[in-house]
């Protein structure tokens, strides 16, 4: 029936490679008060809130040294690696900036109208808007722009924001997290030191916040090292998104379900599209699909291209021009897949890194910001006590908050779709109507890579025309990706795998990182390759936009050199 990618695990030893004590001499270590890994909504909200608190406690602020709060961000700027279909709930912005009018937020304003459609290949049937898709009052947001704006606010507050720096190692000594180590720069493809080589540095701190976002590298290592992962594995979805300049303004937020997915349980295809206005002249259009699908020929990027050929979307985009593209994974395991403990001695985990996403609503930005603020408040309380090893106060704050309430209500609403679209949808409708109580219990999640994949029939995806539909390489170019061709390979996979797995990686990747040998591709084009045939996967790591899908489906994305990857502007 197929082969599971998990049977071919990547050559990675997380604890040995990514967790360890400081190695720099003490006088060469960079000392900061609190170090935050990740310049996204969670990390920046944490930094800003902590500076607000320190402003009222100058003695504590002085005790933290010249750099009381530092944010380590691997992108070219805060926002460079951020992508979301963001309909942002306003609660977190109101709490973080209570004096700032909503008109001054970096958003496109609140949503007025919603519409949900069930698609067939030629028709779009308007449905009553289900409660999870009711966005009235939420703000249309580019999370990349939000990240840049929050970064500026953080710097204005006195936060030291270190961009183009990857956090590659979690520093742990005597069971306590002491900070992180930044990655080396200026190494060649084989790891050799080039003329511009700069070694990484130990950044030691009183407290460490892991707010890495989806597929957090250090988070994954910490969950295993401290044995705080849930017994239910995290699941993931992959979203591919485009920004379009359009001739006619869009007057509503649109969600669709159904076509182009195959809806039977055999294929396990789950997801849908979104389209929302970005002012009067732009729209954001994306497709999101669960990464527990089974057909190796399925491609989220190409599904989005196919979606645009539907008469419904073709009309909305007519005369327009694509001006942006991006891809990112979304944690979708929900409540049960969150870490069983959100802290370890000297460390907390916040936002998408901890799986804080309400999947039915596709909402995570405000939850991440709330978590960041709770982390700041718990750390501040620990600093007042003079001991930051016990950060359990953060756990208490999250469990008593809207984060817990939101995620617990939807705790079982992703899992039923493994039974197929129609059966899963019927079960979830009952869950929604009863506030998650019926059917109750604990519906376990599963590891996406443990789901076997097979070679389905070739899919009839449209050929790129450069106007409405686009290939993967031109899409990568649109991200502003400037990764060196000779940069070290940050992707770990087994290179010789069955054709089902190799073909799945090739089609899954929205950035054309994985390719088949020419002779294998030729055989596929002229009759096929027998199931189980071992093939050697070819990798072009410089194409990678760090979406994280490979980590979900049997490989491992490790941190690239700081500054590599996309430079998103409007996503």
Q: Which H helix or E strand runs over 17?
A: helix 14-18
Q: Is the pLDDT of residue 1 over 80?
A: no
Which residues is 390 bridged to in the sheet?
A: none
E strand or H helix at 304, and its extent? helix 300-308
For 365, residues 6+ apart whose C-beta sits below 8 A from its C-beta are: 41, 84, 86, 88, 89, 92, 141, 143, 146
Separation of alpha carbons 533 and 503, rounded Å: 11
d(CA 66, CA 224): 33
Asked if residue 114 has pLDDT above 80, the reply is: yes
For 541-566, what is each residue's pLDDT tens digit? Answer: 999 999 999 999 999 999 999 999 99
Percent of the chain, pLDDT > 90?
A: 90
Nearest to 331 by CA among 230, 419, 430, 244: 230
Please give the pLDDT value at position 421: 78
Band of pLDDT at residue 430, cut at 50, 70 and 90: confident
If pLDDT is split at 50, 70 and 90, which confidence band does 510 have? very high
367-413 pLDDT, tens digit each = 999 999 999 999 999 999 999 999 999 999 999 999 999 999 999 99
The secondary structure element, H or E, covering residue 399 is helix 392-399
**How does residue 420 score in pLDDT terms, banded at 50, 70 and 90?**
confident
Which DSSP string do the residues of 29-69 spell out, in sequence order? SEE-SEEEE--SHHHHHHHHHHHHHHHT-HHHHHHT-S-SE
- Both tokens of 311, joined, read 């008469």
pLDDT at 88: 95
- Measure CA of the first residue to CA of the last residue in the chain; give whole Å: 38
385 sits in which H/E element:
helix 365-385
Mean pLDDT of the chain: 96
Distance (Å, rounded) from C-alpha 295 to C-alpha 482? 32
What number is the average pLDDT over the span 355-363?
91
Rg (the chain; Cα; Å): 23
pLDDT of residue 423: 85
Neighbours of 436 (CB within 10 A): 19
Phi and psi (nearest 5°) for 343? -145, 160
Sign of CA dihedral 288, 294, 298, 303: negative
- Rounded Cα distance, 291 and 510, in Å: 13
């Amino acid at each position: 029936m197929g082969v599971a990618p998990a049977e071919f695990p990547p050559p990675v030893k997380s604890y040995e490679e990514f967790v360890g004590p400081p190695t720099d001499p003490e006088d060469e270590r960079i000392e900061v008060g609190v170090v935050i890994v990740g310049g996204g909504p969670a990390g920046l909200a944490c930094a800003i809130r902590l500076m607000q608190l320190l402003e009222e406690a100058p003695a504590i602020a002085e005790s933290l040294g010249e750099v009381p709060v530092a944010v380590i961000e691997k992108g070219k700027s805060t926002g460079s690696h951020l992508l979301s279909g963001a309909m942002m709930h306003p609660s977190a912005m109101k709490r973080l900036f209570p004096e700032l009018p909503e008109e001054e937020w970096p958003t496109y304003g609140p949503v007025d109208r919603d519409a949900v459609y069930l698609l067939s290949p030629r028709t779009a049937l308007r449905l009553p808007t289900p409660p999870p898709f009711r966005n009235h009052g939420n703000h249309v947001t580019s999370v990349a722009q939000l990240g840049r704006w929050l970064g500026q606010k953080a710097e204005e507050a006195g936060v030291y924001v270190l961009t183009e720096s990857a956090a590659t190692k979690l520093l742990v000594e005597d069971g306590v997290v002491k900070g992180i180590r930044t990655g080396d720069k200026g190494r060649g493809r084989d790891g050799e030191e080039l003329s511009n080589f700069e070694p990484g540095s130990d950044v030691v701190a009183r407290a460490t916040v892991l707010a890495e976002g989806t597929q957090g590298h250090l988070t994954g290592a910490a969950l295993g090292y401290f044995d705080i992962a849930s017994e239910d594995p995290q699941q993931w979805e992959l979203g591919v998104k485009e920004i379009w300049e359009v001739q006619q303004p869009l007057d509503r937020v649109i969600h669709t379900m159904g076509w182009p997915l195959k809806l039977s349980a055999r294929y396990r295809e789950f997801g849908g599209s979104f389209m929302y206005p970005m002012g009067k002249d732009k729209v954001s259009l994306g497709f999101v699909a669960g990464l527990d699908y089974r057909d190796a020929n399925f491609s989220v990027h190409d599904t989005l291209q196919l979606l645009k050929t539907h008469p419904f979307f073709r009309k909305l985009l007519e005369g327009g021009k694509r001006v942006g593209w991006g891809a990112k994974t979304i944690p979708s395991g929900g409540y049960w897949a969150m870490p069983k403990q959100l802290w370890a001695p000297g460390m907390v985990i916040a936002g998408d890194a901890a799986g804080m996403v309400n999947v039915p609503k596709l909402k995570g930005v405000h939850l991440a910001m709330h978590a960041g603020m709770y982390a700041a408040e718990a750390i501040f309380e620990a600093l007042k006590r003079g001991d930051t090893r016990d950060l359990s106060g953060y756990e208490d704050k999250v469990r008593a908050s809207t984060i817990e309430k939101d995620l617990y209500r939807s705790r079982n609403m992703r899992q039923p779709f493994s039974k197929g679209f129609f059966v899963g949808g019927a079960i979830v409708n009952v869950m929604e109507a009863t506030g998650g109580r019926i059917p109750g219990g604990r519906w376990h999640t599963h590891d996406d890579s443990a789901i076997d994949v097979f070679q389905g029939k070739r899919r009839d995806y449209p050929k790129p025309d450069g106007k409405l539909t686009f290939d993967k390489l031109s899409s990568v170019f649109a991200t502003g990706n400037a990764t060196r061709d000779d940069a070290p390979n940050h992707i770990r996979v087994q290179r010789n795998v069955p054709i089902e797995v190799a073909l799945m990686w090739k089609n899954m990747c929205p950035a054309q990182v994985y390719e088949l040998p020419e002779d294998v591709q030729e055989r596929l084009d002229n009759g096929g390759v027998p199931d189980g045939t071992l093939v050697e996967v070819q990798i072009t790591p410089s194409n990678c936009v760090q979406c994280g899908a490979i980590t979900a489906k049997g490989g491992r994305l490790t941190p690239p050199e700081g500054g590599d990857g996309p430079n998103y502007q409007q996503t």
